[in-house]
């Protein structure tokens, strides 16, 4: 099992009801697996997981990336600007 820290920002923070969480995940879990787990464990986040931007240790990560041990995972809503 890997220990990770999750940081939530903006509307995702509001839906999660907290600014951060710590959890244990399987050693081979991918970002997609983490999104699926968060959708199941925290139903308020399910819609957000479809378009969330995620970083691992402050670098953008794609769904197939494996989450390393002791990672800091940040979740951001999509951003638009002009």
C-alpha 14/C-alpha 62 separation (Å) is 23
CB 58 within 8 A of CB 31: no
Q: Over the chain, what is the mean pLDDT?
A: 95
**Domain 2-76, CATH:** 3.10.20.30
Is the pLDDT confidence value at 80 over 90?
no
Is the pLDDT confidence value at 23 over 80?
yes
Pairwise pLDDT comparison (79 vs 76), residue with the higher score = 76
C-alpha 6/C-alpha 23 separation (Å) is 8
Convert the pLDDT of each residue in 36-77 to its tens digit: 999 999 999 999 999 999 999 999 999 999 999 999 999 999
Q: Enumerate the domain spans of the chain.
A: 2-76
CB 78 within 8 A of CB 50: no
Is the pLDDT confidence value at 79 over 80?
no
Instruction: Give the residue among 70, 54, 51 at the shortest CA–CA distance from 62.
Output: 54
């Amino acid at each position: 099992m890997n220990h990770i820290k999750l940081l939530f920002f903006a509307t995702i923070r509001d839906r999660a009801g907290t600014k951060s969480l710590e959890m244990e995940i399987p050693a081979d879990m991918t970002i997609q697996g983490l999104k699926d787990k968060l959708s199941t464990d925290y139903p308020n986040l399910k819609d957000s997981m479809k378009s969330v931007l995620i970083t691992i240790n402050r670098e953008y990560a794609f769904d197939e990336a494996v989450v390393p041990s002791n990672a800091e995972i940040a979740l951001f809503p999509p951003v638009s600007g002009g």
